[in-house]
Structure 1
Amino acid sequence: MKFNMKLVQASLVAAMATASAGSMAAVFNDFQVSEGSVPGSVVNTFTADKITGNYVEVVSFDGAGNFATSIKWQAGQYVANDGTTPLTTQLGSFGSSGYGLYALLQGTGTYSTNGAGITTFNFNPGGSLNVWIDPDANTSFTAPATGAGAWTTGNTGDPDYLIASGALFGGTGTLDPTLSSCKNGGINCGSFGTSTSFLLTALGSQYFTAPVPFYNVSFESGQLNSFVVAGTQTINGSLDVVFGVPEPTSIALMGLGLVGLGVSLRRRKQA
């Protein structure tokens, strides 16, 4: 098979330009939720474009530039109109119709700290993401001993059900203890952003009902509170989720294109 280098280069440039243009636009993709699919909930369908929530993370640093993290995220609210209008739903509400939505994420990555004490984090591709519905909002959580372990759950009889799964594509984060808001163990000490694949289960398709097929990528943005970058730490902060593009197929094609370019270049050098 003969590589057309100009064609591959042009395809990569176009794909990256499309992704870049999409990231510049402050517009979140709409999706539809049917709460009537949750046992015990009242029939209610609404359109949102963002999910807000809180996370607790157990993260372990090995002192050699690597970390492992295990995150529990609990959704708090759906938001519409490009993240500007909180919606009144049954998520997190009290009473017989209230329910919970949570995700458990495990991943690894690398980190480095500069002379100013600012630490940069880079997430590795892989790990695992699982999103669950908690019908009676009564699930209890037990943290792992280290970031390499998994959160465990328990409840009082009603089963939670898996609605989506995925894995990390990657992401970055920054912790800046020099910020005024971070002094004396404060909040808003940094931020992070990750992207994951997102595959609905059959039950998940009854909850996230549009678009069809549903978005197969989720984007997470979060805020870091103060912590020490050493050993095993338990930290917390806010984390919001939106869905959309670029699709995993585009990312895969970009990766294959880069591999193809590398093979072609090596062949040229050998020739």
Structure 2
Amino acid sequence: MKIPLPLRVSALAIAGALAAGNAAAQTFPDFVVNEGSVTGANPATFTADKITGNYNEVISFSGNTFQAALIWDAGQFVANDGRTPVNSQLGLLFNNQYRLYGIFQGTGTTTTSGSVTGFNFAPGGSLRIFLDPNSNTTFNAPSNGGSPYTTGNSGDDILLASGTPSSGQGTLDPNLPTCTGSSGGGSGINCGNFGASSNFTLTSAGSSYFTSPVPFYNVSFQSGQLNNFSPTGTQSINGSLDVIFNSGGGNTGGPVPEPGTVALLGLGILGLAAMRRSRRH
């Protein structure tokens, strides 16, 4: 699994009207992709500001701590501050298509208030982003969150970036209306959210794929959505996860969003304080 890019992942979530209002005011820094650098792909360049996708995660709980291993599969590039899909060659169907994926490992602590579980990521772990030219890599889940996802048919995969997670938060609330659904029982697909940030560094191959700005952003923000699960033992979960980039110094593409702001940006997972405040009121 590969997720190579120093990222800073900050909290991100679909937290109702409050989140939507904040997200509407947010702008995402642009970046340029050169698909001609991918073996087998057709020559093409485009500008985007967000990458959407899905994730699978194995997370293990012990007391008030957790270990998480995650694989992210990019699905689409988006422009116009996350509003307009961009045509690209991401995919699995045709010879010119390729895959973009990331591998994440992290640890942290949990807090509990009634049925609501909060997640706080600790600094450390790893993030790697890979390019799969032939779209044939397979992903193998670990037995627990302390070990990373492994890959098969990945000998031709290219590491684009790597990084170290620096912070992140999330909230799981099975009593949210979007989680319980009309039938109740907490079986819905929007039961919370999370957001994280990591430092992010491109490899030489990554600089050929992500060509602008130069130097490229050194922080990655990730946000996602949580399906319902029990925060005990080892669990396998999945959901949506989006990625944006920025510069830690704020001199490229504007200031770095605060964790709470990033959490409100996306269709995502780490619905921090916003979700808690929404629930209390």
TM over 0.5: yes
**Aligning the two structures, in what range does the TM-score lie when normalised by the shorter sequence?**
0.7 to 0.9
Question: Secondary structure of the equivalent of 1:182?
Answer: helix
Structure-1 separation of matches of 2:250 and 2:143:
33
* Alignment correspondent of 1:39: 39
1:135 paired to 2:129: no
What is the identity, as a one-letter code, of the residue corresponding to 2:119? F
Q: CA deviation at 1:245?
A: 3.5
Question: Secondary structure of the equivalent of 1:126?
Answer: coil
* Alignment correspondent of 1:203: 205
* TM-score, normalised relative to structure 1: 0.80
1:181 paired to 2:183: no
Divergent runs of 4+, >2 A: 245-251
Structure-2 separation of matches of 1:102 and 1:25:
29
List aligned pairs for 1:1-271, cutoff 5 A: 26-62=26-62, 64-115=63-114, 117-155=115-153, 159-183=156-180, 184=185, 185-247=187-249
Query: Closer, same or farther in 2 for the Cα pair 1:94/1:136, shift >3 Å?
Result: same
User: Which runs of 5 or more structure 2 residues have no equivalent in the other structure?
Assistant: 1-22, 257-281
Aligned length: 227
Query: Closer, same or farther in 2 for the Cα pair 1:24/1:95, shift >3 Å?
Result: closer
* Alignment correspondent of 2:269: none
Identical-pair percentage:
56
Q: CA deviation at 1:246?
A: 3.3
Give the structure with higher Rg (CA).
Answer: 1
What is the identity, as a one-letter code, of the residue corresponding to 1:174? T
Question: Secondary structure of the equivalent of 2:125?
Answer: strand
* TM-score, normalised relative to structure 2: 0.77
* Alignment correspondent of 1:255: none
Question: Secondary structure of the equivalent of 1:227?
Answer: coil
What is the identity, as a one-letter code, of the residue corresponding to 2:112? T
Structure-2 separation of matches of 1:25 and 1:182:
26
Q: Is contact 2:218–2:248 with CA below 8 Å preserved after alignment? A: no
User: Which runs of 5 or more structure 1 residues have no equivalent in the other structure?
Assistant: 1-22, 252-271
Q: CA deviation at 1:113?
A: 1.0
| Aligned-CA RMSD value | 2.0
Q: What's the CA shift string for 1:84-135, capped at 9, x where partnerless? A: 00011101152110000000000000001112x1000000011000000000
User: Which has more helix, going by share of residues?
Assistant: 1
Query: Closer, same or farther in 2 for the Cα pair 1:48/1:228, shift >3 Å?
Result: same
Structure-1 separation of matches of 2:147 and 2:93:
31
Query: Closer, same or farther in 2 for the Cα pair 1:93/1:144, shift >3 Å?
Result: closer
